[in-house]
A and B are shown apart, each in its own frame.
Chain A
Amino acid sequence: MPVHNDAPRLQVPDRAETTARMKIDRAGWAVRAYARYDRAAVMRIVRAVAEAAHQAAGHYAEWAVRETGMGVVKHKQLKNELSAHPLVDFYEDMDLVSPRVDPARKMVEIPKPAGVIFALTPATNPISTLYYKTMLALLSRNAVIFSPHPLAKTCCNDAAARLEAAAVAAGAPAGLIQCVEEPSVPLVQALMASPKVQVILATGGGPMVRAAYSSGTPAIGVGPGNAPVYVDPGADQNAAARRIIESKSFDNSVLCTHESVLISIEENRGKLERALRAAGAHVCTEAEVVRLRAWLFPEGHLNTAAVGKSASWIAEKAGFRVVPSIRILVAPIEQVGLDEPLTREKLSPVLAWATAESFERATGMAQMILRMVGAGHSAAFHGEDPQKAMDFAAALSVYRVVVNAPCSQGAAGFATHLPPSFMIGTGYFGRSSVGENIGPQHLVHWTRLAWNSDASVAMPDMSGVRAPFDGSAAGTRASAAPRPRPVAVPAVADGGGMDRDLLRQLILQELRELTRGQS
């Protein structure tokens, strides 16, 4: 009897990687054309894609939850929607396309898009991140290639294809929005190091962000969050509790901006506890905290099964029961920092709660938490005393402190006037290159024409100077889109009617003839 072995007898080279490299080249072509689109054409495409994203927000919210098992459909839908039109609204007046003339400084600034962006999307916020990074890329005239988290690859591929189709239909060159079908760690590493990628937008686990920075390619990577939230005795306790719980329960706490550790003043404990209960929190008993810690951090590491799950589900797994209407679990703890795993990032509706005897001690605790994880990210402050708010923010290694607002939405720019973002820059504290909420302006650099500052050297009037656009031709370039089936590219000779190219060529030729006659 022959021995049967169904394993391949030949090793097939990794098709995913070579195909992804082809995608990079395709993006290179697309961006070459897109970089010559004018502002009107860009905004037309951006709005069309935002609309497609908006229409499918619910569809992908449901799909993402189904595929990843994380989060809450209606919250994901809201995040997806926020990453479409409201995001564009926010940047409506930020022109990253037209040259700027500054006669006072005798300077002209010409925007130059980065080129090809390689973007990662996490399993926790797959579609909202994909939407958000797509909008950023389109607003700044870049092309983007996504490598989705393997747990969310199917919904991400579908969404990227949908947005790409909407872009092309609105006149964009084909290939601006692409997605890797079979993501893997070696593939991501290979693409990060590709000299044809101009910038990496890394969101995800710490190792991934570090890999982006080590790749040799310019990168914008943001570190993990672990937001401490301080509630001052002077705050409206009910309002603070409501905001915290609303924030913490949102999408089962999968954002990096969610409150992680609540810090309050001892004397105020009873009042705050009542407020928390009233707002839908279950405050755990000592025994429950022991069980919760053991289940959530077996051997000190976060149990990934907990990520994005509901409070009651987690309680049950940990070995105690709460009524299904409970929105978050609050775990009172004695100390913060390395020895208390519950003060790490939990990505689930579990809020650790520490108390301090003074405001100064509370601030110190918050800093201690950030020293462990979450530096450069976010914190929240609930209270009315502006000096305390100032002192709290000045003392902490974070780049945003949300005041009297839900931190998850607030730090991400949806309940504050911070820029709406799914990439919260963690700056130098968090070993990142950018400390603000990442926006399209981070994907453009400017070429500056700078005249001699000496008053005797005049800067000429720029009003008649042509901008580097293909003008309205940009809009008609949709013909560059690949047809679904391979079709022959028409020969120049049988091009038929007088298109713009032909006209331009004839005019050029005529000019040449004329000038030749004169010489």
Chain B
Amino acid sequence: MYNYGFFSFDSKDELLAKAIEYWNPGKTKFWQDAGIDLVIDRREGYFLYDMSGRRLIDLHLNGGTYNFGHRNPELVATLKSALDYFDMGNHWFPSVARAAFAEKLVKSAPGMKYAIFGAGGAEAVEIALKTARYATKRRKIASIIKGYHGHSGLSVATGDERFSKIFLADRPEEFVHVPFNDAEALERALKNRDVAAFIIETIPATYGFPMPEEGYLKACQDICRRCGTLYIADEVQTGLMRTGAMWGWQSYGLDPDMFVTAKGLGGGIYPISACVVTEKCGAWQLEDGAAHISTSGGSELGCIIGHQVIEMLQRPEVIANVQYVAEFFQRSLAEMMAAHSDIFVGVRQRGVILGLEFDHPEGAVAVSRALYENGVWAIFSSLDKRVLQFKPGVLLDAATCQEIVDRMEAAMPRARALLRNPRRAA
């Protein structure tokens, strides 16, 4: 029996049946069909444990949510400490936690003036898009094809049709999509000077981390400036030291008008997100500070965690570790690619953000499964299933990194077999 005190399950099968019955049949069945029977039970550091007790090294990190690992002891201690004094707080009033965290965030991002809080990434994107409309008095929003910014009303419309059409949330007249790494296409989209904002992930995650070409992002920013369009950097997956700099846009020499951060900002233990803006963009807060309201946005518990997350990321030890992890995988994946060049054909990397390319339209699905069977959990890119998202955490140690590589090496024959004969998979 799996007794969790508050509830219990006789078996994993019972849990799966209940998940199908009461929670989400489609999602539950999808993973069963994909051969990934994961139900995460215990979790600690960069390790996940399935209900069966099997250990997995987490290279998915939910897009960087677990940047510091699962239940990082310092963050858990911080949250416990915060709970002895605070709760979510009252979103109507100024608060010590919000003011302190806003200051911390703004000071980590040269050129920025205010931090506006939400609870999730999509909410922060929503704030950014609304802010852009206020600041420019324009309605249109541009984004890249296969960009991903969340699933709320405005944010989902910036993304792939798969997620917007089903809810009749696609609005082609207001939401313009341009190809990635094509600055001229952006120029054409903005030249009528009627687009409020261009939002782009600094490295598009769900698209499989294709690297922006040399100068592309800067060119986009320049085009935006020329056309009176605001440049919004979505840093939900590229922020928080994952590129080797606190914010990915810093490492590309950009100075965006706004950027959004979420996921890892809450350390994986308390949701918090932020849209950080320049003085000019934040002006709506002078006209009507309550124009955007969110009861759980910027909860004080989340602010204390976020404050600690930024403080930890600024420590020289963390910065040094990111370098070591990045260099380790740069070397070892290059070697692995050379040894398995029949299926493993490319590595995209910046810092600890990596996309591994496989020579098959569904290549990463097979590799993800083979890795899963070998004790590593890494997810394929939803919008480009050739590419495996490979996201090591900033605190990974040498021994675990070596184990990851050893397990990958062991998984390669299985991945090859799955790719040659997917039916044999079962």
Q: Are B243 and A493 in contact (CB-based, < 8 A)?
A: no
Check B348 for interface membership: any CB of A closer than 8 A: yes
Sorting the interface of chain A by its residue count into under 10, 10 to 19, 20 to 34 or 35 or more gives: 35 or more
Complex Cα spacing A502 to B338, Å? 10
Complex Cα spacing A12 to B350, Å? 33
Q: Are A23 and B317 in contact (CB-based, < 8 A)?
A: yes
Q: Are A12 and B81 in contact (CB-based, < 8 A)?
A: yes
- A315-334 interface bits toward B, Cβ cutoff 8 Å, 1 = contact, 0 = none: 00000000000000000000
Complex Cα spacing A23 to B319, Å? 11
CB within 8 Å of A: which B298-332 residues: 304, 312, 315-324, 326-328, 330-331
Q: Are B319 and A486 in contact (CB-based, < 8 A)?
A: yes
Check A512 for interface membership: any CB of B closer than 8 A: yes
Q: Taking each of A196, A482, A491, A504, which has the highest tally of chain B beta carbons within 10 Å of its own beta carbon?
A: A491
Stretch at the interface among B32-40, B55-63, B114-122, B391-399: B391-399
Residue of B nearest to A480 (CB): B327
Complex Cα spacing A494 to B324, Å? 19
B315 smallest CB distance to A (angstroms): 6
- Which of B84, B246, B252, B327 is within 8 Å of A489, CB to CB? B327
Complex Cα spacing A507 to B390, Å? 26
Q: Are B338 and A482 in contact (CB-based, < 8 A)?
A: no
CB within 8 Å of B: which A346-379 residues: none
Q: Are A491 and B348 in contact (CB-based, < 8 A)?
A: yes
Q: Are B319 and A19 in contact (CB-based, < 8 A)?
A: no
Q: Are B81 and A480 in contact (CB-based, < 8 A)?
A: no
- Point out the residues of chain A lying under 8 angstroms from B214, CB to CB: 494
Contacts A486-B241, A505-B337, A509-B338; A491 near B397 (Cβ below 8 A): no
Q: Are A494 and B211 in contact (CB-based, < 8 A)?
A: yes
Check A25 for interface membership: any CB of B closer than 8 A: yes
- Which of B73, B84, B338, B395 is within 8 Å of A10, CB to CB? B84
Q: Are A25 and B321 in contact (CB-based, < 8 A)?
A: yes
- Point out the residues of chain B lying under 8 angstroms from A502, CB to CB: 334
Contacts A13-B77, A13-B78, A22-B315; A488 near B399 (Cβ below 8 A): no
Residue of A nearest to B338 (CB): A508
A130 smallest CB distance to B (angstroms): 19
CB within 8 Å of B: which A20-52 residues: 22-23, 25-26, 28-29, 32
Residue of B nearest to A489 (CB): B326
Residue of B nearest to A175 (CB): B320
Residue of B nearest to A174 (CB): B320
Check B236 for interface membership: any CB of A closer than 8 A: no
Complex Cα spacing A505 to B341, Å? 11
CB within 8 Å of A: which B76-97 residues: 77-78, 81-82, 84-85
Q: Are A487 and B77 in contact (CB-based, < 8 A)?
A: no
- Which of A482, A488, A490, A494 is within 8 Å of B320, CB to CB? A482
Contacts A488-B251, A493-B348; A501 near B324 (Cβ below 8 A): no
Contacts A13-B74, A489-B244, A489-B327; A22 near B317 (Cβ below 8 A): yes
- Which of A175, A488, A492 is within 8 Å of B244, CB to CB? A488
Q: Taking each of B251, B318, B333, B398, which has the highest tally of chain A beta carbons within 10 Å of its own beta carbon?
A: B398
- Point out the residues of chain B lying under 8 angstroms from A12, CB to CB: 78, 81
Complex Cα spacing A174 to B333, Å? 22
Q: Are A482 and B323 in contact (CB-based, < 8 A)?
A: yes
Contacts A13-B77, A22-B317, A486-B241; A508 near B339 (Cβ below 8 A): yes
Residues of B in contact (CB 8 Å), total 51
- Which of A174, A196, A509 is within 8 Å of B341, CB to CB? A509
Q: Are A28 and B399 in contact (CB-based, < 8 A)?
A: yes
CB within 8 Å of B: which A443-489 residues: 480, 482, 486-489
Q: Are B85 and A9 in contact (CB-based, < 8 A)?
A: yes
Residue of B nearest to A28 (CB): B398
Residue of A nearest to B341 (CB): A509
- A38-71 interface bits toward B, Cβ cutoff 8 Å, 1 = contact, 0 = none: 0000000000000000000000000000000000
A493 smallest CB distance to B (angstroms): 6
Q: Are A488 and B350 in contact (CB-based, < 8 A)?
A: yes
Contacts A12-B81, A487-B244; A29 near B331 (Cβ below 8 A): no
Check B266 for interface membership: any CB of A closer than 8 A: no
Check A11 for interface membership: any CB of B closer than 8 A: yes
A349 smallest CB distance to B (angstroms): 42
- Point out the residues of chain B lying under 8 angstroms from A304, CB to CB: none
CB within 8 Å of A: which B269-320 residues: 304, 312, 315-320
B227 smallest CB distance to A (angstroms): 28
Q: Are B321 and A512 in contact (CB-based, < 8 A)?
A: no
Q: Are A489 and B211 in contact (CB-based, < 8 A)?
A: no
Q: Are A489 and B317 in contact (CB-based, < 8 A)?
A: no
Check A18 for interface membership: any CB of B closer than 8 A: yes
- Point out the residues of chain A lying under 8 angstroms from B241, CB to CB: 486
13 A-B residue pairs with Cβ-Cβ distance under 8 Å, sorted by A, are A10-B82, A10-B85, A11-B81, A18-B74, A22-B318, A480-B327, A482-B320, A488-B243, A489-B350, A492-B347, A492-B348, A494-B211, A494-B214
Known: A488-B243, A492-B348. 19 other contacts (CB 8 A): A10-B81, A11-B81, A13-B78, A22-B317, A23-B317, A26-B320, A28-B398, A175-B324, A486-B244, A488-B245, A488-B350, A489-B323, A491-B349, A492-B347, A492-B349, A494-B211, A501-B334, A508-B338, A512-B341
Question: Lowest 5 CB-CB distances: which A-B pairs, in order?
Answer: A488-B251, A22-B317, A13-B77, A29-B324, A508-B338
